[in-house]
Structure 1
Amino acid sequence: MAIYQMGPFAMDESFIYTFFPLLAAVLLLIYIKSKEANEAAKVQEAPSTYSLWDPDRKTTQATTPSFLQEPITPLDVDILSTPPHPFRPYKPIYHMTMGLEKCAPNDLFLIDSSYPSRIALRKQIVNAFPHTSLGASERCSPAIKELYSYILPQHLPSRFPGLFTTSTFNGEFKNHVSGDSYPLLPPQNSIEALKILATTVEEDILILQKESGKETYSLQGFIACFPNGFDSSKKMGMELREIHGPVPMFKEKLANSMDRFFGRLEVGRWWTISTHEKLFLPTGNHHYEGEDLPEELESVDLEKTYLRVERQVLLRLPVSRDIVFFVRTYMTPLARIKAEGQGEALATAIDGFPERLGVYKRRIVWGRAVQEALRA
């Protein structure tokens, strides 16, 4: 056996043949891990672009340029100190139209100071009323995965980097307001995916699919934490014309227009008066044929009576081609409306409802009392 002398140390052949290969392996492993860590850091720092959720999608499949692929601008303001946007859509005469406007991708979600309390309330609702607040058909699963893969990994961290971040290292989305962490990849269970979305954004969501061989759409999935007299769980599978059947003037004024314009990415607004502050209201805010109306209110407290406005955003998903409604609900005390100097404008708008729509909105119950308080 040969002995090698290196300064004060002596090594035999077996040591050399064992030590140096082991040292080389350790150094190689350190290099590989270091390179992986650097690449992961670069991915986390670089703004990600929208990618379609399906990893098995054929590369030859045609894709359609869409709203979802437009760039998102980071919002670098203290958004949680910003009050809700003052939507005041009422007019002296009410016209039954879709109220279409263009919506920029940056404005898909409007976060403000109400976000922490609203998200906490939504968690309570989905846990207490899981079947009323969440629903999905089996055929809706691809659309839910597609929507989840855009909102959590892409849109929210890009638009609100101070509130939401992602980590490709552990595959997580982090909500720094609620403290919740969720997987970047959508859960296989559609209801679980909807529950995560419901407790991350304030918007309720309706997913509509085109019926085979028709130009009409039916409800196939929903998040309904803040419904306004509308129980989505009882409307699953129904076409929009059926769902809106009780709404006065919908058939003659909106049904055909809605079918024609469903391919567009548009925004609309709807408003009503609520004599309470309840956001979860699957029944009770509308009057349907055959129901008895409660007695007319003699007076109202403007601090406890609210203008309820729905901001609705409509878009088509680029892969599934399904249509998604985002519905954000704003509740403003009428005392604030009056303080803004708009008491008379709102009182006049209440008279502007067509008679049938006024009955549907239960104006006979609250109308006179609200008008008197606004004009006092």
Structure 2
Amino acid sequence: MASLRVVPQPVDEHVFAPPFAGLKSAQAIARFPFPFTQPVQGPYRYSVNIEPHETDGIPGSPTEHFFDVDEFYFAELQERRRALKATPQHSQVLPEVTDAAQELTHLSLARLAHSYPNYFIYSPQGHGFVWQNHLTGQAPTLFDPNAPLTESKPDPLPFLTSQLPGDWALLQQQDNQLWLKGGVVTGPASWSLSEKLGMNYLQWHSPVPDQHQVFQRSLKYLLRLPPGQPVRRKNWGLCVHPRLEMSMENRREWQHELQNTSENDLPQLVNLRVELQVLERLPKSQAIAFYIRTYFLSLAELKQNPEWASRLVQVLEELSSDIAEYKNIAGVRMLIIKYLSGARHY
């Protein structure tokens, strides 16, 4: 992996500042996790598309390691701090999953240190471990994954997400269901942790139109998910700017941006927004950890790859009207197709 570029980006706390503007390299464009890579088999249909999350992915790709630490590392951590300060309810963990939060934090810090030994160290000391982050230069932190949580030792999930790009949610299995019991989610796409907290898997996904059977099948699959066999999927949408925080609490800031974008501004401002989602059963607590890392690619950048542009045009042409409305792209769909269609290959 190429060296990380440290680019200071002061954030105006009262005005949203896209965290990735001007930072993207040619390497980041080439390694973008384009979501429509499966062979075309008839018209596009919404699906879960779960596959194994291999830990020895293609070198240089976002799935080379379990976690992807790339050139957006500093910008994402800065954006999380801004989002949590503005909306503290983006971080909540119910008491019944505090043990799972500790287990997840320990497992994730160990994985980061194993995958990126030049950046992170997680070494045994006494009853716990010492965490060192050479990227941020912060003081070493002692973490004991077995110590009880107290007021002076709060839930560790906010600490983990201060070290790692991406969001976390914790799902507890009970009564043949998965229940959302906590997480740190500062980059949601048209939902909010505070809105979904305490819901089961099917309730959580109920806004997706006409997909109840799809989520019934995926729920059955996840209920049988064994420890040590993480899976992943890609979820996609469109947005204006590389906007991570698209929560329901702050929807007035973003809900009309896409529809109000002019045809001239479309190539630079509109982005394909892809979430690389990883689900894994934790071996000790048996909770399912849900990790979400989000990537952006402007339409102008996407058009540099004719195959990607052609495939996205096909998807947009075949997208059902209800899914287009759900993804908030119905009003601009034809403009995007018009812009990208010049790159199509038949």
* Aligned 1:1-376 pairs, distance under 5 A: 77-80=1-4, 83=28, 85-90=31-36, 93-106=43-56, 107-131=65-89, 133-152=90-109, 154-168=110-124, 171-180=129-138, 181-186=140-145, 188=149, 192-211=155-174, 214-264=175-225, 265-283=230-248, 298-299=262-263, 300-341=265-306, 342-376=308-342
Q: Could you tell me how far 1:115 is from its partner in structure 2?
A: 1.2
**Other-structure match for 1:35:** none
Deviations 1:280-317 (A, max 9, x none): 1113999xxxx999967552431111000011111100
Q: Aligned equivalents of 2:281 and 2:113: distance in 1? A: 21
Q: Which has more helix, going by share of residues?
A: 1
Aligned partner of residue 339 in structure 2, secondary structure: helix
* Mapped partners of 1:148, 1:284: distance in 2: 27
Q: Conserved in 2, the CA contact under 8 Å of 1:173 and 1:184? A: yes
Q: Kindly indicate whether the alpha-carbon contact (under 8 Å) linking 1:218 and 1:240 is maintained by their aligned counterparts in 2.
A: yes
Per the TM alignment, residue 363 of structure 1 is displaced from its structure 2 partner at its CA by: 2.3
Q: CA deviation at 1:352?
A: 2.0
Q: Distance in 1 between matches of 2:99 and 2:171?
A: 12
Give, in whole Å, the separation in 1 of the partners of 2:287 and 2:209.
Answer: 27
Q: Which moved more, 1:240-249 or 1:338-347?
A: 338-347
Residue type at the aligned position of 2:132: K
Alpha-carbon distance in 2 for matches of 1:111, 1:329: 12
TM-score computed with the length of structure 2 as normaliser: 0.76
Q: Give the stretch that moved more between structures: 307-316 or 113-122.
A: 113-122
Alpha-carbon distance, 1:191 to partner = 5.7
- Cα distance, 1:121 vs. partner? 1.7
Contact 1:296 1:365 in 2 (8 A): no
Judge conservation of contact 1:228–1:285 (CA < 8 Å) in 2.
Answer: no
Q: Measure, in 2, the Cα distance between the counterparts of 1:162 and 1:232.
A: 34
1:266–1:313 contact (8 Å) kept in structure 2: yes
Taking only the aligned residue pairs, the percentage that are identical comes to: 23
Q: For structure 1, list consecutive stretches of 5 or more residues without a partner in the other structure.
A: 1-76
What is the TM-score with the length of structure 1 in the denominator? 0.71
CA displacement at 1:192 relative to structure 2: 4.2
Counterparts in 2 of 1:313 and 1:114: CA distance versus 1, 3 Å: same
Change (3 A) 1:168 1:261: closer
| Structure 1 residues 191 and 282: alpha-carbon distance in aligned structure 2, compared to 1, 3 A threshold | farther
Q: Is the 8 A contact 1:137 1:220 kept in 2?
A: yes
RMSD: 2.7
CA distance in 2, matches of 1:284, 1:89: 27
1:349 maps to amino acid: V
Q: Is the 8 A contact 2:202 2:215 kept in 1?
A: no
| Structure 1 residue identity aligned to 2:95 | E
Cα shift at 1:351: 1.4
- Provide the C-alpha distance between the structure 2 equivalents of 1:297 and 1:127, rounded to a whole number of angstroms: 29
One-letter code aligned to 1:97: S
Aligned residues: 292
Deviation at 1:159, TM superposition (A): 1.1
Q: Which moved more, 1:352-361 or 1:248-257?
A: 248-257
* Separation in structure 2 between the aligned mates of residue 256 and residue 105 of structure 1, nearest angstrom: 25
Residue 134 of structure 1 aligns to which amino acid in structure 2?
S
| 8 Å CA contact 2:177, 2:223 repeated in 1 | no
Per the TM alignment, residue 254 of structure 1 is displaced from its structure 2 partner at its CA by 2.2
Q: Which segments of 5 or more consecutive residues in structure 2 lack a partner in the other structure? A: 6-26, 57-64
Does the residue aligned with 1:329 lie in a helix, a strand or coil? strand
Q: 1:285 to 1:273 in 2, by over 3 A?
A: farther
* 1:275–1:366 CA contact under 8 A, matched in 2: no
| Contact 2:102-2:155 within 8 A present in 1 as well | no
